[in-house]
Amino acid sequence: MSEETVTSSAGQSPPTQDGAANRRPGMVLVIVLALQTMLILDVNVVNIALPDLKEALDFTPTGLSWVLSSYLLTFGGLLLLGGRAGDVLGHRRGMLIGVTVFTLASLLGGLANSAGMLLAARALQGVGAAIAAPTVLALIATHFTDNKSRARALGLYAAVSGSGAAIGLIGGGLLTDWLSWRWVLFINVPIGIVLLIAAPMFIHETERKPARFDLGGALTSTVGMTALVYGFIRAAESGWGDTLTLGSFALAIVLLALFVFIETHAKQPITPLRLFADRNRATGYLSLLFVMAAGNAMFFFLTQFLQEVRGFTPIQAGLAFVPLAVLILAASSIAAKVLPKAGPRVLTAVGAAAISIGLIWFARITPEAEYVSALLGPMLVAGLGMGTLLVGVTTILMSGIAPEETGAASGLLNVMQQIGGALGLAIMVTVFGAASRGAADEVPAGLDAKGAADFVLTEGVTTAFAWGAGFTALTILLTLIMRTVPMGGGEEAEPAPEQGANPAREVTAP
């Protein structure tokens, strides 16, 4: 596949727009933070609505994971291409295109009357998010040029990113309980319309830079990962010997091999494979993939356990996750302060150990598990581990990066979050499906239909949690082969991340 060359005919932004934008920096900040909030909420706000979606659109238990995976795959697979589009077309134009696609897709998703229509809309949402998301930090950088205002803007950006999980879970519960599951998608429409009206009024266009769109790399990686995820989910429903299962894995191998070939020969590759040549970054990316796999699966399965087995309402389920989300944010702040003394490898290992403990604890729950006595404890332990680990692994991934590769490295970090979450969830769903089928043959005598269903679902969920603990335990082993990151104030020290942002909060909580 060839690259499409795109060049700019207009290099500088109009001075009148610059002046107008600079007189209203507060509005610029409101607009970009509203965009960031809308994008970051979209996974968790839908998570709480999953049981209602399953009933309304007749999803299978394993097929339900596509509601998350279809969004994550297109978002992650096209994220680097979206960042390149902002450079080429101008970041304001990129933002407007991305928000338009995202808003229309949200409307279509809310109107969906079938599972296929909803999944198509979710995939289209991911396309819009991939175009719009990279423009947020770029617009902050171009509109806030002095250190003080930029630091304030980045601090608010970090706060929005860090609190997104809690806001999304509560908001999803409120919308689903008071209105319907459709409103977790409809809510994006008025926000998107306001952004489309306000952005041209207050945000000036940035300089457009000639570059190449690596369309071949973007398409082969996205379709290849989708085929891989489909293979795992198909295996959960139809077994490993199924023709479509085997065909999906074969297609994934071919496309991902083609992706590697394209990236090694492209003049401007969408994924600089040389970043994986460094031992720390290779193990760091793998660690991030494992953690996002376990984290996304934990939210996905706990949501269903709370509502389908324990009978929580959507609002109650959303509030149940708040302690975990808050502890992720608090732990990341504390970990950032102790990072210079402890070092990123230690934080990564300690965080992975805490997540493993939390997941093993979750793997012991029964259908009668009470929230305070059986679920709150492992939630808090897992949240502590996630916040701590994300600081360590982000620091490892962003250390020793050449200035010209900082953008690619940080973009790839975010890609690994989305792709890792989708692939990991697919593997966990496969485990869940196999365990559920086995449990269906071992239902204890004397249980009614509801009790039998609760037993089967709980057995599948706890098995998935146990596998998740195995993934995070592998992260501990990976830290043993990482090199020590040179630090300024002790054994290791915190490197300055891109644009001065807190590394603990550049990573979106699962």
Instruction: Examine the pLDDT at 198 and tell me if it is beyond 90.
Output: no
Q: How far apart are CA 147 and CA 445, in angstroms?
A: 68
CA distances from 80 to 124, 129, 276, 413 (A): 16, 11, 16, 10
Contact between residue 227 and residue 251 where contact means Cβ atoms under 8 Å apart: yes
Instruction: Examine the pLDDT at 195 and tell me if it is beyond 50.
Output: yes
pTM check: above 0.85: no
Long-range contacts of 157-160 (CB under 8 A, 24+ apart): 157/32, 157/33, 157/36, 157/501, 158/501, 158/502, 158/505, 158/506, 159/505, 160/33, 160/36, 160/37, 160/40
Contact between residue 44 and residue 162 where contact means Cβ atoms under 8 Å apart: no
Question: Region 111-134: what's the mean pLDDT?
Answer: 89
Q: How far is CA 64 from the centre of its chain?
A: 17
* Residues in contact with 17: Cβ distance below 8 Å, sequence separation at least 6, in sequence order: 204, 205
**Token digits of residue 13:** 């932004």
Give the tens place of pLDDT for each residue, 370-379. 989 889 999 9
* CATH 1.20.1250.20 assigned to 16-204: yes
pLDDT interval class at 406 (50, 70, 90): low
User: Alpha helix (H) ranges present in 48-146?
Assistant: 50-57, 66-89, 91-110, 115-132, 134-143
The domain ranges of the chain are 16-204, 215-268, 272-500
Q: What is the pLDDT of residue 362?
A: 92
Q: What is the pLDDT of residue 161?
A: 64
* Residues in contact with 279: Cβ distance below 8 Å, sequence separation at least 6, in sequence order: 481, 482, 483
Q: How many residues does the chain have?
A: 510
How many CA atoms lie less than 13 Å away from 12 in the CB half-sphere? 4
Q: Answer whether 16-204 and 272-500 agree in fold.
A: yes
Instruction: Examine the pLDDT at 16 and tell me if it is beyond 90.
Output: no
* CATH 1.20.1250.20 assigned to 272-500: yes
Give the tens place of pLDDT for each residue, 63-109. 787 888 788 778 877 777 777 777 777 878 888 999 999 999 999 99
Q: How far apart are CA 30 and CA 293, in angstroms?
A: 32
Number of H helices, E strands in the chain: 19, 2
